[in-house]
Amino acid sequence: MSEGYGTCRVRESLRRSRSRAADTDPRDLAELDRRTRHREVPSEAGERASVRRLVDDRLSRLERPGRRATDRLGFMGLITATLLVITAGVIVFCYGVVRMQRCALDRYRSMRSALGEQHACPDSTGSSASR
């Protein structure tokens, strides 16, 4: 499966930022990663410093999401509570509309029965004979 142009650019950008964090050349970063994976400690002082900076950078990147997770969970809880309140508001609003309609129907039915059983409609033919 081929990678898109954007994926290559992201990988290259990550490689450059990680090599800056380790203060080494991007080509040397692969070798430092390999040594880190195999737990090889370099003997040269310069390489040791580069590996130390690389390890510190990777540890900070790995430990950071743990602090953000609680913030994200809190934010998701806040969104859930907000949606719950909005849903409850919509349900109450719909109940109010149905209740108002029932009250209006009851009112008009009771007025019809109080006025008597004459519920004939006015002349809708348009003639003005009763005027």
Q: Cα dist. 54→13, 89, 107 in Å?
A: 16, 53, 79
- Per-residue pLDDT band for 65 (boundaries 50, 70, 90) equals low
Domain positions in the chain: 9-112
- Per-residue pLDDT band for 101 (boundaries 50, 70, 90) equals very high
Largest CA distance in the chain: 116
Summarize the confidence of residues 28-54 as an average pLDDT. Answer: 82
Distance from C-alpha of 26 to C-alpha of 3, rounded to nearest angstrom: 20
pTM: 0.41
- Per-residue pLDDT band for 73 (boundaries 50, 70, 90) equals confident
Contact 31, 42 (CB under 8 A): no
